[in-house]
Amino acid sequence: MRNLPSAVKHIMIISLCMMIMTYLNEPLMARLFALNPITFIKRPWQLVTYMFMHGNFAHLFFNMYTLYVFGTVLERVWGTRKFLLYYFVTGIGAALVHIGVQWLTGDFALTVGASGAIYGILMGYAMLYPDSTLMLLLPPVSVKAKWLVLIFAGIELLLGVTGTQAGVAHFAHLGGLVFGLFLILYWKKTHRLYSRWD
């Protein structure tokens, strides 16, 4: 943990603490901090706090591992303040897209998890290092970052439209990708993509 950049480290610590608190009192934590598409207007902090909650330790582990691998790179390039701005823009953007889809479909289930922001992190990495080669675990093949993000986007769109894998916020994942893409393109246009905000 000592070598982790500040934002990544604190996101991981807060997420772990929220997981422990959820196990101690899940009804209270869900009511206050999970993203509720009906009551979030009265509790706007849920647009942020849902990112630090997770359904189980496996959910937490995979999100935090991805944050560690790719978020560490982005924070070291952008600096802590810029990384945090990107993280929260993609996470909140993911929440808003997901809420919109929930209202369209009539599915008002609670939402937790950093996955929307994590997909934003993947988009950020792919935009900065499109030709970097990544090794997947399953299947064990190598793929360039730009193609991996496109594959993930296609899978999430397919699963979201078909309603496959119920209980997973596929459109939140897509929202994180889209908001990440637009923010990166804005920074690119204004020549701020590689500037640091420490």
| Model pLDDT for residues 61-82, shown as the tens digit of each residue | 999 999 999 999 999 999 999 9
Q: Which range is most confident: 114-123, 133-142, 154-163?
A: 114-123
The values of phi and psi at residue 9, to 5°, are: -60, -45
Structural domain includes residue 125:
yes
Q: How many CB atoms lie within 10 A of CB 52?
A: 23
Averaged pLDDT for residues 5-11: 97
Whole-prediction pTM: 0.94
Phi, psi (rounded to 5 degrees) for 35 = -80, 115
The answer to whether position 65 is within a domain reads yes
| Cβ atoms within 10 Å of 195's Cβ, excluding its own | 12
Q: Which residue has the tokens 């900065």?
A: 128
The average pLDDT across 113-138 equals: 94
Domain containing residue 59: 6-189
Domain with residue 48: its CATH number is 1.20.1540.10
Domain assignment present for residue 105? The answer is yes
Show the CA angle centred on residue 134, arms to residues 130 and 140, nearest 5°.
145
Residue 144 has pLDDT above 80, yes or no: yes
